[in-house]
Amino acid sequence: DDKKLYSPKVMKYILDKYGFKFSKSLGQNFLIDGNIINNIAETAELDENSGVIEIGPGFGTLTQVLCSKAKKVVAIEVDKSLEKVHKETLDYDNIKIIYEDFMKVDVVKLIDEEFQGMDVKIVANLPYYITTPIIMKILEERYKISKIVVMVQKEVAERLNSTAGSKEYGAITLAVNYRADTRIAMIVPNTVFMPRPKVDSAVISFDILDKPRIQVLDENMLFAVIKASFGQRRKTLLNGLSNNLKLPKEQIKMVLERAGIDPGVRGETLNLQQFGDIADEIIKLSN
Ligand code: SAM
């Protein structure tokens, strides 16, 4: 905190010194508000046993606070032109910076190698162009982590945090619901970034469940059923499932009957348990 990296003046001075240019396509909007940065770190509930993976450290304002609170931080940044900047802004003993696309990192291996015995959490102000793929990667690859705290677009936070039947409800809502309890920690105005994004943001916190929320026979089938049901929004469940899973309507009818679900309803009205029941009936049918 002594360096007050989040002061826009200091940030501009250092970035100019290294000839850094903001990349819009990499979603580079850096935080310039100390309170918001501290709030994100507090939401992550870090202590001396915490290991943190940060996606996209950018200039390093949030990273600096994470380093001061956690045992170790591994930051993954795709923009190698920030390396010179980091030499100045992130001079800490407990940080490792990897210059790579997060989507290409073997995170399971990374956790194994870098965070033995630590309580691992993911903390990030995410690049907005790739928010959903990043969150799906984290959920599908099942890391040994206890928490995710990320800043995303406000609309995305609402979708992640929504419930069955609401208009924001989607396949990703269910994927999240299967593995975590979510909570919107704060709404963040666009004025706290340099440069300012067009939309407001929100910080969302995911507490990863010890066990998935429901038990199913085959997790891949659960995800396939969820994706198939949301694939064509205005279609009935019967048509959506039979088209996308390429199964005859007669079979799907039988599956839905056994699961006790009306074939005329739309996917967005069903809850996680009902998707689980459908997935299990399909598996039973093929056995
Ligand atoms: N954490 C900084 C902050 O809060 O000020 C920067 C946040 S900025 C919204 C997103 C950061 O993610 C940028 O530094 C950008 O270069 C980086 N980034 C974009 N795509 C990435 C990817 N695929 N993998 C890793 N980092 C990425």
Residue with the smallest CA separation from ligand 1 atom 8 is 28
Structure tokens at 227: 């994706």
Sequence-distant (6+) residues with CB within 8 A of 167 are none
Nearest CA among 184, 218, 219, 216 for reference residue 202: 184
Residues contacting 59, CB < 8 A, separation 6+: 5, 11, 14, 15, 30, 82, 85, 89
Give dist(CA 77, CA 59) in Å, integer. Answer: 10
Q: Say whether 56 counts as a known binding-site residue.
A: yes
Kindly state the average pLDDT of the residues 239-244.
92
Q: What is the pLDDT of residue 263?
A: 87
Instruction: Write the pLDDT tens digit of every residue in 209-240.
Output: 999 999 999 999 999 999 898 877 677 899 99
Q: Which atom of ligand 1 is nearest to the CA of 32?
A: 5
d(CA 153, CA 124) in angstroms, rounded, equals 13
Helix (H, G, I), strand (E, B) or coil at 154: helix
**Across all residues in the chain, what is the average pLDDT?**
94
77 is in an annotated binding site: yes
Please give the pLDDT value at position 3: 57
Write out residues with Cβ below 6 Å of ligand 1.
26-31, 55-59, 61-62, 76-79, 101-103, 125, 127, 130
| Residue nearest to ligand 1 atom 18, measured at CA | 56
Q: Using alpha carbons, list the distances in angstroms from residue 269 to 111, 182, 230, 275, 276.
A: 37, 20, 11, 11, 14
pTM equals 0.92
Residue 1, pLDDT score: 44
Q: Is the pLDDT of residue 52 over 80?
A: yes
Residue pLDDT, tens place only, 103-158: 999 999 999 999 999 999 999 999 999 999 999 899 889 899 999 999 999 999 99
**Is 247 a known ligand-binding residue?**
no
Report how far residue 254's alpha carbon sits from residue 62's, in angstroms, rounded to the nearest whole number: 53
Mutate to test the pocket of ligand 1, among 20, 54, 79, 100 (most ligand atoms within 8 A of CB): 79
Torsion (CA) 179, 184, 190, 195 in degrees, nearest 10 = -30
Closest ligand 1 atom to residue 30 Cα is 5
Q: What is the pLDDT of residues 158-182, one digit of tens each?
A: 999 998 778 888 888 999 999 999 9
For the record, the structure tokens of 142 come out as: 């099942």
61 C-alpha vs ligand 1 centroid, how far in Å? 12
Residue 233, pLDDT score: 64
Query: Cβ of 112: how many Cβ atoms within 10 Å?
Result: 12
**Å from CA of 149 to ligand 1 middle:** 15
The tokens describing 183, both together, are: 């909570």
Count CA atoms within 13 Å of residue 26 on its CB side. 18
Q: What is the rounded (10 degree) CA torsion for 228, 177, 141, 119?
A: 180
Give the phi and the psi of residue 50 in degrees, each rounded to 5: -85, 140
